[in-house]
C-alpha cells in the first residue's frame, strides 16, 4: 500500500508545512554527492545560507542532521573538558544547551530567567565577568516560550571578555533578521523545518574564523568525528573531499527554500510573519486567549498564548486532539513549567498567512461551541 498521510495544517512549534515548490524539488532525480551538478548546487546553498545568516563566514553549511545536532556541533567543536561556559536559560532549549555542554565536560554557569521573559543582559554580563568563559551560548528565539532574546548586548559582553558566542537560530532563521557578523556571533545553528518551509533533517550552521581558529588550537580532538568542523571543511570547503554521503533530496529542497526567501525578500518576509501574528492575536482575543509574552520581546513566528477558561473546562489536550482529528490542525502545548497553561502556535514560513489564522479560528469556534 502506498504511504498516504493525512493532510494537516501544522501550526505547532515545528515542523511547519512544506512549500509546494520545495516538495517538487525534492522529487527530482538523485545524482551523486560528488556530482558536478550537486557540488554547484551546494555552492548555491552555502551562499544562500551566508546571506540569510548575515555573514561572510566561509564555514557556513547545511549539516546533515537536525537542529539539535547543530547545537551539539557548535558546542562540541568549541568546548573541551574543563572549559568554562556561561549559558542563558530562558526556556527548554537553553536548558538543553546546558546539558550538551555538561556532557562535553564543560563547567557550566546557568543564567536563568522566568519562562516567558527575556534574559537580563546585565545578569549575563555579571556571570561572564565572574566565570571568564571560553563560550557564551543562548537562544535567539526560544521555541518553548515565544521570547526573542537581546542578542547584541550579551554578545558584546562576551567578546569584551574573550569568549566565543554561540547562538541558537532555529526558530528565527528565515522569519526574522539574523546578522551574525554585525552582532559578533562566532557559531550559530538552525533547522530547516520552521521558517524555511522545508522538511526537518538539515541544520544550517555557521562558524566564524575565530571559531575555526579555536578548533585548530584544541588540546583534545572534537568528541564527535561526524561533527568535527575541521573534517567537515574537507567536503564543504574548497576541496569537496568525501566526508559523508550528503542527503541529496533534502539539499534540493533547501536550495528551493532559499530561492523562495530570495524571491520574496527578507523585509517582506519579516513583515508577513509579523502581520500573521497580529492577525492571530486579534482573531483569538475574543475567545479569551491572551499572549504570554510582552510585546517588546514577543517572537512573531511562534506565539505563546495563555488559555481561556473555556479551553480549561474541556481540557487543553482534548481541544488540541479535536482540532487535529476533526479539522486537521496541529497546535503545540506548553513545555516544562508551562505545560497545560499555554499553547504554542507557529505561523512560520509558508504558513505565516491570514488564511492559516482564519482556518484555526473557525475550527476553534466549532470545537468550543460543541464542548
Q: Which domains does the chain have, with CATH numbers?
A: 9-13+265-369 (3.90.1150.10), 21-262 (3.40.640.10)
**Cβ atoms of residues 15 and 141 within 8 Å:** no
Is 0.85 surpassed by the pTM of this model? yes
- The H-assigned helical ranges of 290-353 are 309-314, 316-327
pLDDT level of residue 370 (50, 70, 90 thresholds) = confident
Distance in angstroms (rounded) separating the CA atoms of residues 113 and 346: 23
pLDDT of 2 higher than 70: yes
Residue 26 grid coordinates: 525534492
The confidence score (pLDDT) of residue 264 equals 98
pLDDT score at 283: 97
Q: For residues 149 and 139, is the Cβ–Cβ distance under 8 A?
A: yes
Question: Quick one: how far is CA 123 from the chain centroid?
Answer: 24
Task: Calculate ∠ Cα 124-126-130, nearest 5°.
Answer: 115
**C-alpha cell at position 344:** 504554542
Q: What is the mean pLDDT of the chain?
A: 96
Task: Round to whole Å and give the CA distance between 125 and 142.
Answer: 20
CA dist., res. 322 & res. 110, Å (int): 39
**Distance linking the first and last C-alpha atoms of the chain:** 37
Amino acid at each position: 500500500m502506498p504511504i498516504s498521510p493525512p493532510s494537516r495544517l501544522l501550526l505547532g512549534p515545528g515542523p511547519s508545512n512544506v512549500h509546494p515548490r520545495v516538495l517538487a524539488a525534492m522529487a527530482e532525480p538523485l545524482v551523486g554527492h560528488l556530482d558536478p551538478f550537486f557540488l554547484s548546487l551546494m555552492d548555491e546553498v552555502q551562499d544562500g545560507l551566508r546571506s540569510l545568516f548575515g555573514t561572510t563566514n566561509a564555514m557556513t553549511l547545511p549539516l546533515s542532521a537536525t537542529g539539535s545536532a547543530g547545537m551539539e556541533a557548535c558546542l562540541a567543536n568549541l568546548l573541551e573538558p574543563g572549559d568554562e561556559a556561561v549559558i542563558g536559560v530562558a526556556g527548554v532549549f537553553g536548558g538543553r544547551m546546558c546539558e550538551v555542554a555538561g556532557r562535553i565536560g564543560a563547567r557550566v554557569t546557568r543564567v536563568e530567567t522566568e519562562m516567558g521573559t527575556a534574559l537580563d543582559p546585565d545578569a549575563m554580563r555579571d556571570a561572564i565577568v565572574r566565570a571568564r568563559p571560553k563560550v557564551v551560548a543562548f537562544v535567539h528565539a526560544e521555541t518553548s516560550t515565544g521570547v526573542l532574546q537581546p542578542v547584541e548586548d550579551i554578545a558584546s559582553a562576551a567578546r569584551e571578555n574573550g569568549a566565543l558566542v554561540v547562538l541558537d537560530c532555529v526558530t528565527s532563521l528565515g522569519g526574522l533578521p539574523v546578522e551574525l557578523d554585525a552582532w559578533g556571533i562566532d557559531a550559530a545553528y538552525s533547522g530547516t523545518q520552521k521558517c524555511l518551509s522545508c522538511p526537518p533533517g538539515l541544520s544550517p550552521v555557521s562558524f566564524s574564523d575565530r571559531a575555526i581558529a579555536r578548533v585548530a588550537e584544541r588540546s583534545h580532538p572534537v568528541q564527535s568525528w561526524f561533527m568535527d568542523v575541521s573534517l567537515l571543511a574537507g567536503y564543504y570547503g574548497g576541496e569537496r573531499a568525501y566526508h559523508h554521503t550528503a542527503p541529496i533530496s533534502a539539499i534540493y529542497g533547501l536550495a528551493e527554500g532559499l530561492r523562495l526567501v530570495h524571491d520574496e525578500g527578507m523585509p517582506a518576509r519579516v513583515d508577513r510573519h509579523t502581520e500573521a501574528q497580529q492577525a492571530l492575536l486579534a482573531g483569538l482575543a475574543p475567545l479569551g486567549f491572551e499572549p504570554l509574552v510582552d510585546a517588546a520581546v514577543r517572537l512573531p513566528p511562534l506565539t505563546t498564548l495563555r488559555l481561556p477558561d473555556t479551553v480549561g473546562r474541556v481540557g487543553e489536550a482534548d481541544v488540541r486532539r479535536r482540532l487535529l482529528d476533526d479539522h486537521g490542525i496541529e497546535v503545540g502545548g506548553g513545555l516544562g513549567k508551562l505545560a497545560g497553561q499555554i499553547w504554542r502556535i507557529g505561523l512560520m514560513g509558508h504558513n505565516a498567512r491570514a488564511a492559516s489564522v482564519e482556518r484555526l479560528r473557525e475550527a476553534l469556534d466549532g470545537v468550543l461551541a460543541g464542548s
